[in-house]
Chains A and B, each alone.
Chain A
Amino acid sequence: QQPVQSPQAVILREGEDAVINCSSSKALYSVHWYRQKHGEAPVFLMILLKGGEQKGHEKISASFNEKKQQSSLYLTASQLSYSGTYFCGTAATDKLIFGTGTRLQVFP
């Protein structure tokens, strides 16, 4: 039931791009994305509600393919501040279920 994210970890140089994927075995109504920096709480990035919808946050955007039950997070021209662990979340009957996480490290 927990969404599976890939890759598990990504290492980037500043300015490089990355894609993080989130797959669910259940039908999705929405997909949430959060970023958690080391020692801090998860911070909300965006929610996608419709199949094929794309939303953006700074240079971070995401897509949601409802039929495939997948979402992807796109980080373009990465900055040092993008470092952290990214979690997707899917809404269930009484909770938000977080994915397995993708650790992103951006180096100068």
Chain B
Amino acid sequence: DAGVTQSPTHLIKTRGQQVTLRCSPISGHKSVSWYQQVLGQGPQFIFQYYEKEERGRGNFPDRFSARQFPNYSSELNVNALLLGDSALYLCASSARQIGSSYNSPLHFGNGTRLTVT
């Protein structure tokens, strides 16, 4: 079975532009979470989508948005890019919705490396 796939793998944008990142979860997984990882730091939570609805949002500005499609794939959009948005963006899928009693692994894709110049 294919794992979590993300595209593109690398992206270079200039300040003020907009970017769309894509993620396909493991077959049968209905939850997709997005994380931002700045070099040397742990992944920071951006969004969780489950059954095509937003179930959680991290402390990120409204420039960040996402959606989940009927096939459970997901897109992360970032508008008006800033230099500080340069990071590795990770998508993770899980079979169940993540909550305080969550006890299953998260399966990560290899990420999209975004560089804003």
Contact = CB atoms under 8 A, between A and B. Distances in A.
Interface of A: 2, 29-30, 32, 34, 40-44, 47, 49, 87, 89, 91-101
Interface in B50-67: 55-58
Contact of A91 (B40, B58, B101, B107): B101
Give the size range of B's interface with the partner.
Answer: 20 to 34
Nearest 10 CB-CB pairs, A to B? A94-B56, A41-B108, A44-B105, A98-B42, A91-B102, A95-B45, A101-B42, A98-B43, A41-B110, A95-B56
A96 B111 contact: no
Contacts, number: 70
Given A42-B90, A101-B41, A91 B110 contact: no
Nearest to A99: B42
B99 A44 contact: no
